[in-house]
């Protein structure tokens, strides 16, 4: 967001026209192959170097643009950098400093990526294009499952029939699909064309089919929470003004639930849900998670300051697995301080949501916040079942949210200054409130 410096003593600092504020930087298109590759092919051996190459190009362009136009570093980004620095201290206590160093390198790459993505997530028009790249990346994952025959095999009973695509992990695939559904919900509310809205609804139905094929219980939980909170935030206050619209949307969601129940019959997902309900998982997946929970708490208490070292849970645990819980993984490997630094990012994001939702917003801004808020709640729930602090798609979504929230907060401050400017501004007409882009 860019603002003028006004040198007229009869005027206050005014925002530029909506057309300029909603500009789309040309360099944002360099992010397209990088974001698509980060989501779709970075898990494949060898292809990650291609993604890193695009990342280096994006970094150079970002540095040139930020030096020319200025750049604001958010509190969330500072917390992430502090978390990485704290992880470096943990190298001295890690059983395997090689594993810890590899994770630190990944985190630094994600930090740079988050800086770049948040820089471009400055208005709704940029969000539309960034989400477009995210959606294409997820579409590549889904098409890969179809081409390789994974999707067709998902109709067969058994644990081996879960779809994972190029991401090579069924739960990670389900998480990507859920984020794709969040993007489709954003497009559904952003565009007013009924044709586009019908296409988005069709896309959600297709995404649900892939979600079921993944057999991921946490993906199913994330999908349900996303829809419920999106409906509450988007239509909860409109019942008195537009009751028939709200009832229509609610009926549509019920119909979607019926569709999910119908498509889930005789699938791996339904089998896994029934086993969980019947208690058959006590010595299986759920039992292993309970063991890892106890181990994680023990690791954290054994070294509460710095933890056992990043990426070292897998070699210290008797299960020889990662923690399957982001909170346990982070607190056990980086200690209490590292865990608080990382999760302070979430606290700051929700604090910004809380503040912004009390301010006067236009409909487009409100629609963005509703989807963001729902996606954040889904992320918090996902973290109970997966380790996400080094997940690329998770941090792409977080970076978009962080960049937009900070840009919108500064935009609203300027609006308030224009509508009820302080008296001292008139005596300092050349004062610059803000200059630069996020």
Query: pLDDT at position 422, please?
Result: 55
Examine residue 182 and state whether it is found in any structural domain, yes or no.
Answer: yes
Examine residue 12 and state whether it is found in any structural domain, yes or no.
Answer: no
Does the pLDDT value for residue 10 go beyond 50? no
Contact predicate 293/328, CB 8 Å: yes
Phi and psi torsions of 237, nearest 5°? -95, 0
Domain that holds residue 80: 18-426
Quick one: tokens of 270? 């339904």
- 197-206 contact pairs (CB < 8 A, 24+): 201/252, 204/256, 205/256, 205/259, 206/142
Phi and psi torsions of 282, nearest 5°? -60, -35
Query: pLDDT at position 46, please?
Result: 67
Query: pLDDT at position 278, please?
Result: 56
Q: Which residues contact 145 (CB under 8 A, 6 or more apart)?
A: 151, 163, 164, 165, 173, 210, 213
Give the pLDDT confidence of 167-177 residue by residue, as tens digits.
Answer: 778 888 999 99
Q: Which residues contact 427 (CB under 8 A, 6 or more apart)?
A: none
Give the pLDDT confidence of 57-99 residue by residue, as tens digits.
Answer: 888 888 887 777 777 788 999 999 999 999 999 888 888 989 9
Cα–Cα nearest to 384, from 225, 146, 252, 246: 225
Contact predicate 217/276, CB 8 Å: yes
Examine residue 435 and state whether it is found in any structural domain, yes or no.
Answer: no
Does the pLDDT value for residue 296 go beyond 50? yes
Alpha helices in 215-242 (DSSP H): 217-235
Q: CA-to-CA distance for 94 and 100, rounded, in angstroms?
A: 7
Examine residue 24 and state whether it is found in any structural domain, yes or no.
Answer: yes
Contact predicate 261/290, CB 8 Å: no
The per-residue pLDDT of the chain, averaged, comes to 82
Query: pLDDT at position 434, please?
Result: 37
In terms of pLDDT, which residue wins out, 192 or 41?
192
Contact predicate 1/431, CB 8 Å: no
Q: Which stretch of 119-123, 328-332, 372-376, 393-397 has the lowest confidence by average pLDDT? A: 119-123
Examine residue 434 and state whether it is found in any structural domain, yes or no.
Answer: no
Cα-trace Rg, the chain: 23
Q: Which residues contact 109 (CB under 8 A, 6 or more apart)?
A: 52, 55
User: Buried b vs exposed e over 21-60: b needs ≥16 C-beta within 10 Å?
Assistant: beeebeebebbbbbbbbbbbbbbeeeebeebeebbeebbe
Q: Which stretch of 304-318, 353-367, 405-419 has the lowest confidence by average pLDDT? A: 405-419
Does the pLDDT value for residue 12 go beyond 50? no
Query: pLDDT at position 19, please?
Result: 39
Examine residue 8 and state whether it is found in any structural domain, yes or no.
Answer: no
Query: pLDDT at position 352, please?
Result: 93
Query: pLDDT at position 378, please?
Result: 96
Query: pLDDT at position 432, please?
Result: 37
Give the pLDDT confidence of 401-419 residue by residue, as tens digits.
Answer: 999 999 898 888 777 777 6
Does the pLDDT value for residue 6 go beyond 50? no
Residue 87 CB neighbour total at 10 angstroms: 29
**Residue written as token pair 């590292």:** 338
Quick one: tokens of 363? 């409909």
Query: pLDDT at position 384, please?
Result: 92
Query: pLDDT at position 160, please?
Result: 52
Query: pLDDT at position 45, please?
Result: 66
What is the 3-state composition of the chain as percent helix, strand, coil, each rounded to the nearest 5?
70, 0, 25
Q: How many domains does the chain have?
A: 1
- pLDDT-derived band of residue 118, with 50, 70 and 90 as boundaries? very high
Quick one: tokens of 254? 């019920």
Quick one: tokens of 256? 């979607």
- For the entire predicted model, the pTM comes to 0.86
Percent of the chain with pLDDT over 70: 85
Q: Which residues contact 129 (CB under 8 A, 6 or more apart)?
A: 24, 28, 29
Quick one: tokens of 253? 């969601």
Query: pLDDT at position 281, please?
Result: 53
Q: CA-to-CA distance for 373 and 360, rounded, in angstroms?
A: 17
- pLDDT-derived band of residue 277, with 50, 70 and 90 as boundaries? low
Examine residue 432 and state whether it is found in any structural domain, yes or no.
Answer: no
User: Would you list the DSSP string of 139-188?
Assistant: HHHHHHHHHTTHHHHTTSSSGGG---GGGT-HHHHHHHHHHHHHHHHHHH
Give the pLDDT confidence of 227-261 residue by residue, as tens digits.
Answer: 999 999 988 877 777 888 888 888 888 888 888 88
Examine residue 72 and state whether it is found in any structural domain, yes or no.
Answer: yes
Residue 362 CB neighbour total at 10 angstroms: 8
Alpha helices in 12-74 (DSSP H): 18-21, 31-40, 47-69
Query: pLDDT at position 419, please?
Result: 67
């Amino acid at each position: 967001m860019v603002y003028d410096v006004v040198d007229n003593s009869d005027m206050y600092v005014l925002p530029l026209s909506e057309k300029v504020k909603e500009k789309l930087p040309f360099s944002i298109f360099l992010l397209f192959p990088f974001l698509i590759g980060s989501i779709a092919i970075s898990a494949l051996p060898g292809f990650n170097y291609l993604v890193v190459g695009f990342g280096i190009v994006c970094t150079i362009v970002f540095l040139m643009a930020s030096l020319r136009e200025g750049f604001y570093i958010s509190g969330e980004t500072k917390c992430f950098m502090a978390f990485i620095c704290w992880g470096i201290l943990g190298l001295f206590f890690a059983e395997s400093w090689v594993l810890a160093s590899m994770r630190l390198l990944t985190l630094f790459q994600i930090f740079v990526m988050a800086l770049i993505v948040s820089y471009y997530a400055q208005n709704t028009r940029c969000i539309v294009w960034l989400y477009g790249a995210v959606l294409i990346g997820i579409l590549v994952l889904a098409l890969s499952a179809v081409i390789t025959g994974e999707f067709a095999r998902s109709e067969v009973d058994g644990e081996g029939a879960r779809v994972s695509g190029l991401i090579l992990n069924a739960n990670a695939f389900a998480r990507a699909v859920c984020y794709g559904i969040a993007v489709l919900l954003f497009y559904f509310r952003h565009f007013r064309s009924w044709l586009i809205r019908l296409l988005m609804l069709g896309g959600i139905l297709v995404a649900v089919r892939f979600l079921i094929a993944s057999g991921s219980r946490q993906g199913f939980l994330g999908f349900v929470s996303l829809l419920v909170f999106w409906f509450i935030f988007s239509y909860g206050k409109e019942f008195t003004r537009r009751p028939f619209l709200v009832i229509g949307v609610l009926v549509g969601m019920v119909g979607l639930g019926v569709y999910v129940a119908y498509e889930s019959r005789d699938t791996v997902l339904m089998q896994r849900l029934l086993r969980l309900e019947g208690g058959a998982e006590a010595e299986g997946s759920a039992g292993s998670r309970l063991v890892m929970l106890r181990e994680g708490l023990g690791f954290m208490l054994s070294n509460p300051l710095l933890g056992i070292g990043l990426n070292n849970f897998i070699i210290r645990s008797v299960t020889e697995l990662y923690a399957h819980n982001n909170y346990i993984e982070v607190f056990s490997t980086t200690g209490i301080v590292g865990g608080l630094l990382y999760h302070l990012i979430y606290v700051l994001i929700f604090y910004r949501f809380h503040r912004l939702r009390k301010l006067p917003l236009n409909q487009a801004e409100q629609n963005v916040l509703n989807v963001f808020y729902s996606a954040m709640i889904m992320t918090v729930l996902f973290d109970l079942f997966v380790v996400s602090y080094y997940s690329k798609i998770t941090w792409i979504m977080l970076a978009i949210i962080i960049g937009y929230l900070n840009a919108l907060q500064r935009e609203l401050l300027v609006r308030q200054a224009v509508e009820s400017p302080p008296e001292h501004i008139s005596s300092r007409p050349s004062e610059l409130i803000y200059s630069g882009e996020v």
